[in-house]
Structure 1
């Protein structure tokens, strides 16, 4: 199974569409700040879409956090602003663990990231439209779930 992970497109559709066409996923996880209605967001993808609300998603009827099972792993999804992710990832790791998750996905910082905090793998796809890392490349993430249910993470550039 191939999963496309997006965050922080801030209403920009073209970049999101290009990533989708390039990856051809079976599922899309959006980590907030789409600044679109969820039905509008779903209409762009011909697969299952799971999303959370970001700090710039004012009128969206989405949860602030959710969990999804991928392979043998339980994944905690959030935008990240509620967990002070700009300063420390321990609070996010603790929240994920409290929910029984061993993976946490977040956005908000617009910077791609992949690290382990305690026993929790923490990933940020970066921003598909407003990158803030050195080089300022538009980024997203692909998670491939292998036949044994293990997850393989890869940051991609448009």
Structure 2
């Protein structure tokens, strides 16, 4: 079993990132930030979390994407602003197919969402600082990969589980 904590769009709110890193240090296998941290690429938090460059990040030492393997699955992390994610995940799907990724984390919309299309799971942790949409809760998520089963569990910034957002998927 592999657990990945995903957070996005913190927009300079470093305290919550430090809090997440301390709280989950021995509970998750990977920490990913989907961009728009507005922090320097030399910030110490990046020794714990892997991040990508968002449209509000101006430190050009950050990469546009991050790839890794988790539980024999290829994982892709992007911000999403270059993939028109406000409209659909079609641009992300093309990128995921090229990367042979079955799990994609993205941000940019500030809206917590998990959906599957053509066997690829797309997970947006929402925004930990500036939520948008109907929910208006600051969120992050933990994705648990257990064999072919994937559980996406959302939490608010007070670490309360957002049960109505949680979803379970099967991926190959």
* Deviation string, structure 1 residues 31-85 (Cα, Å, up to 9, x no partner): 1000001221xx23774x2211101111241111121111121111100000000
Using CA pairs below 8 Å that are at least 6 residues apart, which structure has the higher relative contact order? 1
In structure 2, distance between residues paired with 1:36 and 1:113: 24
Q: In structure 2, do the counterparts of structure 1 residues 53 and 12 end up closer, same or farther at CA, with 3 Å as the change threshold? A: same
Q: Note the 1:1-158 alignment, pairs <5 A.
A: 1-24=2-25, 25-40=28-43, 43-44=44-45, 47=48, 49-146=49-146, 148=147, 151-158=150-157
Q: How many equivalent residue pairs?
A: 154
In structure 1, distance between residues paired with 2:8 and 2:104: 14
Q: Which runs of 5+ in 2 are unaligned?
A: 158-172
Q: Which runs of 5+ in 1 are unaligned?
A: none
Equivalent pair of 1:141/1:153 in contact (CA under 8 Å): yes
User: Is the partner of 1:44 in helix, strand or coil?
Assistant: helix
Provide the TM-score with structure 2 as the length reference.
0.81
User: Is the partner of 1:93 in helix, strand or coil?
Assistant: helix
Q: Which moved more, 1:82-91 or 1:58-67?
A: 58-67
Q: How far did residue 149 of structure 1 move?
A: 7.3
Equivalent pair of 2:11/2:36 in contact (CA under 8 Å): yes
In structure 1, distance between residues paired with 2:20 and 2:36: 17
Provide the TM-score with structure 1 as the length reference.
0.87
Equivalent pair of 1:142/1:155 in contact (CA under 8 Å): yes
